[in-house]
Structure 1
């Protein structure tokens, strides 16, 4: 249960009910972060606009590269809600979610392409405290993807850092977007514990 409870549909006003209906239609369920953030209407509207605008603007990178980098942030930071949701997004994109089981071995695993390895390594560097991204790493990414695409990648990794840290702080846990499959995905040993679906 989140540390700040969400607004249930039965207590939602007309506009919020429409947003919940749209989210449920598109995603199969209303994301719990929506319901929690709805407690602050101005932030909820700002976040919704930002997420939609970011989705529309993020079209330069191949989906597999972007989604793996974002997923890696969630996995490294131990955000079980983000892991669950990110797994679902990859599944809906037709990407191989079984290889997420090998993400800790991305540097050597044949399950990942060179471009994917570069993006995952960048996600690791950006998510470290302090960040470890280097001039050489960014230059290599620019040579591979171009400046605009690297800005997209950087923005997406930064945004997922914000989401994962915020959702973890608020006590949001996996919601079952992947029918419990996300709970089988490993997280680093030093990351916060990820609950199993039955907990």
Structure 2
């Protein structure tokens, strides 16, 4: 149970009601982190605008590379909400979510490409405390994805670290975006 309750639709102003309607249409439910952030309207607006801008800007890397790096970050942080939501996003993007069950074995699993392995290893290194990214690792990523791709990957992993740590601090857990046996992926 979250440490702060979500703002119910009955108490929402016009902007928040619009946001809730759009979120329900797009995701099937209002994401709980946003409904909780609604207690601070200005930060909620900033967050929504930021997420939309990042979604549009992050188009350099292959979708599977982006999504797997973000998903891996969520699993490393233990953010069950992020794992739940990220699994749903991958399913909606048409990606194979069955292979997420093998993500702990990414280095040797044939379910992952070399590009995906590099991105997952980078997510691990960035999410470790202290960060364990090496010069060699960033040089290899830049050769593989270009400077723009490296910056995109770094930004997305850093952003997921922010999301996951905020959700954990507020006690926000999985919301059921991947409910049902067909698409439920357990936390590694």
Q: Is the 2:61–2:152 contact (alpha carbons within 8 Å) kept by the matching residues of 1?
A: yes
Give the aligned length: 187
* Separation in structure 1 between the aligned mates of residue 87 and residue 75 of structure 2, nearest angstrom: 11
Per the normalisation by structure 1, the TM-score is: 0.92
Q: What is the Cα deviation at residue 179 of structure 1? A: 1.1
* Separation in structure 2 between the aligned mates of residue 117 and residue 172 of structure 1, nearest angstrom: 29
Q: What is the Cα deviation at residue 185 of structure 1? A: 2.1
3-state SS, counterpart of residue 146 of structure 1: helix
1:176-191 alignment runs, 5 A limit: 176-180=176-180, 184-187=185-188
Other-structure match for 2:8: 8
How big is the alpha-carbon RMSD for the aligned residues of Structure 1 and Structure 2? 1.1
Q: What is the Cα deviation at residue 180 of structure 1? A: 4.7
Q: Is the 2:60–2:149 contact (alpha carbons within 8 Å) kept by the matching residues of 1?
A: yes
| Structure 2 residue 78 is matched with structure 1 residue 65 | no
* Separation in structure 1 between the aligned mates of residue 159 and residue 49 of structure 2, nearest angstrom: 14
Per the normalisation by structure 2, the TM-score is: 0.97
Instruction: Classify 1:162/1:180 alpha carbon distance in 2 versus 1 (closer, same or farther; 3 Å).
Output: farther
* Separation in structure 2 between the aligned mates of residue 140 and residue 117 of structure 1, nearest angstrom: 12
Other-structure match for 1:37: 37
Other-structure match for 2:161: 161
Other-structure match for 2:123: 123
3-state SS, counterpart of residue 74 of structure 2: helix
Other-structure match for 2:19: 19
Q: Is the 2:87–2:185 contact (alpha carbons within 8 Å) kept by the matching residues of 1?
A: no
1:94-173 alignment runs, 5 A limit: 94-173=94-173
* Separation in structure 2 between the aligned mates of residue 55 and residue 180 of structure 1, nearest angstrom: 27
Deviations 1:31-80 (A, max 9, x none): 00111000011111111111111111100000000000000000011000
Could you list the runs of 4 or more consecutive aligned residues of structure 1 that deviate by over 4 angstroms after TM superposition? Answer: 180-183
* Separation in structure 2 between the aligned mates of residue 50 and residue 108 of structure 1, nearest angstrom: 35
* Separation in structure 1 between the aligned mates of residue 5 and residue 54 of structure 2, nearest angstrom: 26
Q: What is the Cα deviation at residue 183 of structure 1? A: 5.6
Q: What is the Cα deviation at residue 186 of structure 1? A: 3.2
Gaps of 5+ in 2: none
* Separation in structure 1 between the aligned mates of residue 186 and residue 100 of structure 2, nearest angstrom: 7
* Separation in structure 2 between the aligned mates of residue 95 and residue 11 of structure 1, nearest angstrom: 37
